Structures are given as C-alpha cells and as structure tokens.
Amino acid sequence: ILNVEQSPQSLHVQEGDSTNFTCSFPSSNFYALHWYRWETAKSPEALFVMTLNGDEKKKGRISATLNTKEGYSYLYIKGSQPEDSATYLCAWGNTGKLIFGQGTTLQVKP
C-alpha cells in the first residue's frame, strides 16, 4: 500500500490568518500530485495538479509547492476566510492510479 500522508489532520484558525498544510508521498515512480478541496455535501473539486519538481501554482489566495525529490507538497492559504472551511485532500497519481491522503479539515472562524 502506497502511503500518502497529510498533516495536520484538522486545523482551526481565525478569519484573516494564513495557514499551510503538508502532504508527503512516495518520491519513487512519481508522476503527478493533485490537491482537491472538499466542502460538506459537495463533491471534491480540483485545486491544482502538479507534475514538475519545484512547481508552484496559485489560484487566488491559495498556492501550492512541490518537491518530488524529497516527496512533499505544501498548500498555503493566505488570509483565510470562512468560505475556505473544507477538507483539503492531496493525491499521488501514476498512470491510472490516484491515491489520496486522509485529508486536512480546516475550520475558519469569523
């Protein structure tokens, strides 16, 4: 079983705080690293798909970095808002297989 680990498991922050989560994954046979956002009562939706070592991606206040040699990715949220409350999932992808971590659940208090 391939291990994709996320930390922390949950996080509570105040509105306006910046925060970050970690995803660690096997560095061998790496092909792609995905980040998804999963809101309650909705389906997971993709934030980023990264394939190159050193990749950095940004969407609004959310950004992500990738280190394939050491097997980790960081997701950053700048100035958290209550609508950012969700579970954030990372997934390791390789030709047909997509393995998820257990997720980080973020609660942003107004």
Partner 1 sequence: DVKVTQSSRYLVKRTGEKVFLECVQDMDHENMFWYRQDPGLGLRLIYFSYDVKMKEKGDIPEGYSVSREKKERFSLILESASTNQTSMYLCASSPHLMNTEAFFGQGTRLTVV
Question: Which residues are at the interface with partner 1 (CB under 8 A)?
Answer: 1, 6, 9, 31-32, 34, 42-46, 49, 51, 89, 91, 93-103
* Least spacing, CB of residue 20 vs partner 1, in Å: 19
Minimum Å distance from CB 1 to partner 1?
A: 5
- Specify burial of residue 92 (Cβ count, 10 A radius: 0-12, 13-18, 19+): buried
Cis geometry, peptide bond prior to residue 26 (ω within 30 degrees of 0): no
Q: Is the CB of residue 73 less than 8 Å from the CB of residue 57?
A: no
User: Which residue lies nearer to partner 1 by CB, 17 or 55?
Assistant: 55
